[in-house]
Structure 1
Amino acid sequence: MATTNKLLLAFKHFDEANTQDPNTEIYEGTTYPKEVLYGKRMTERLNEFNANASEALLLTARCQHICRWEIPRESYEMNREGYLRWRQELKKFHAKKAADILKKIGYNDDTINNVKFLLEKKQLKKNEETQTLEDVICLVFLEFYFEPFAHKHLEIKTIDILQKTWRKMSVKGQEAALKLPLSIFSLDLINKALKS
């Protein structure tokens, strides 16, 4: 869809909120606040994956991790139950943060509710836009975050994460994943995961 001035304003506000991230990442020689870079990667990947994405989906992709550092993983028990509780709290947190910004710049309730619906990942595998968002999340993870993750964990855990990621994706998402510019190391692990 055509980019609107309001959409660009929302991106600006989301990015400004994320510039407060104390965590940084160096990419192609430039240091970024981690969640600013993540938001830009989400936007770029969504534009490649679905050139006709709705405004609500474009907004959601950009603010998917808005101010995530404010609720650190360590604030919940370091087990599966703690992880799931953390993820649920993050969804609500991101939805509220995004809604406050969108309301401030004049978005209507329908758009804000659509963004909240998508941020809370409702109706995955049933709702086309929720699924597209999940595909883009998985593609960004695989392209930029998977290999560093894999180097820190045992192969058995890495393969388990890959299999879970693969199951969350649509066929279109899986096909796009196999076309990513991945290293031989990453591709080898993906092949092992798909054959297991």
Structure 2
Amino acid sequence: MTPFQNASLWIDAENAQDPNSEIYESKTYPKELLYSNRMYERLLDFHPDASEAVQIASKAQHICRWKVARESYPMDRVGYLKWREDLKKFHAKLTAEILEKAGYPQAFIDRVSFLIEKKLLKKDEETQLLEDVICLVFLEYYLDPFVHKHDTEKLKNIILKTWNKMSDKGHQEALKINYTDANLQLIKDALGL
């Protein structure tokens, strides 16, 4: 097996341990394994010639996310931002350990960590690609559950923040997603289209 195949299997094995589950098309999945698969599939669909580093970063974006509970941080904006920052470091560290075990050189491991930590967004092409994929996966699979939890103004704010992180190519792809009529209208209202 190649280092990539081993790393992919080990990332999947970690995410398969998620005690949280999600039902998709009548099948139950460990939540982060499903997210990882969605990220990887969306990346290959959106940018088929993505580098191996971006492919791994897409799969490991939320690796073992459940182990760093949101509730263990203050439930305010500062606590949320600190949780998100710590999560990025946690995901990068865990992925680096897997990549080392798979036999990747340090320079490659450092690059994947750089991507997972989303450094130089808008400046680094691959960081931007990964962010586009994160936003596309959110809009396709996770916007609808948000719609049922939040009021319209908060949703518009979330959509606008998501949109502002994306590239023009990401925007074009986002408008091709098959939304419900209500969600498409919400997106258009948020963006002033």
Q: Quick one: which of 87, 91, 99 aligns to 1:90?
A: 87
Shift of 1:8: 2.0
Spell out, residue by residue over 1:95-131, the C-alpha distance to the aligned partner (whole angstroms, 9 max, x if none): 1000001101111111100000001100000000000
Q: Which residue of 2 aligns with 1:130?
A: 127
Give the match for residue 7 of structure 2. Answer: 10
Corresponding residue for residue 139 of structure 2: 142
Count of matched residue pairs: 193
Taking the aligned partners of 2:147 and 2:72, their CA distance within structure 1 comes to 23
Unmatched tracts of structure 2, length 5 or more: none
Q: Which amino acid aligns with 1:135?
A: D
Deviations 1:59-98 (A, max 9, x none): 0000000000000111111111111000100010001000
Q: Distance in 2 between matches of 1:192 and 1:79?
A: 27
Distance 1:43 1:127 in 2: 19
- 1:46 is matched with 43
TM-score, length-scaled by structure 1 = 0.96
The separation in 1 between residues aligned to 2:2 and 2:25, in whole angstroms, is 29
3-state DSSP class of the match of 2:75? Answer: coil
The DSSP-based 3-state class of the residue aligned with 1:152 is coil
CA RMSD of aligned residues (A): 1.1
What letter is aligned with 1:67? Answer: C
CA deviations over 1:28-80 (Å, ceiling 9, x no partner): 11110000000000000000111110000000000000000000111111111
8 Å CA contact 2:68, 2:87 repeated in 1: yes
Task: Specify the SS of the correspondent of 2:83.
Answer: helix
* Identity over aligned pairs, percent: 55
Q: Given the two structures, how large is their TM-score scaled by the length of structure 2?
A: 0.98
- Letter aligned with residue 113 of structure 1: D
Letter in 2 for 1:85: K
2:164 corresponds to = 167
Q: In 1, distance between residues paired with 2:158 and 2:75?
A: 16
- 1:58 counterpart letter in structure 2: Q
Alignment counterpart, residue 113 of structure 1, candidates 105, 110, 114:
110
Aligned to 1:188: 185
Q: Secondary structure at the match of 2:29?
A: strand
Q: What is the SS of the residue equivalent to 2:23?
A: strand
2: distance between equivalents of 1:159 and 1:81?
21
How far the C-alpha of 1:6 sits from its partner, in A, is 2.3
For 1:123, the aligned partner's letter is L
Q: Distance in 2 between matches of 1:72 and 1:189?
A: 30
Partner of 2:53: 56
Q: Return 5+ residue gaps in structure 1 as ranges.
A: none
Report if aligned partners of 2:43, 2:55 keep a CA contact under 8 Å in 1: yes
Equivalent residue, structure 2, for 1:101: 98
Of 19, 22, 35, the match for 2:19? 22
Say yes or no: does 1:34 pair with 2:31: yes
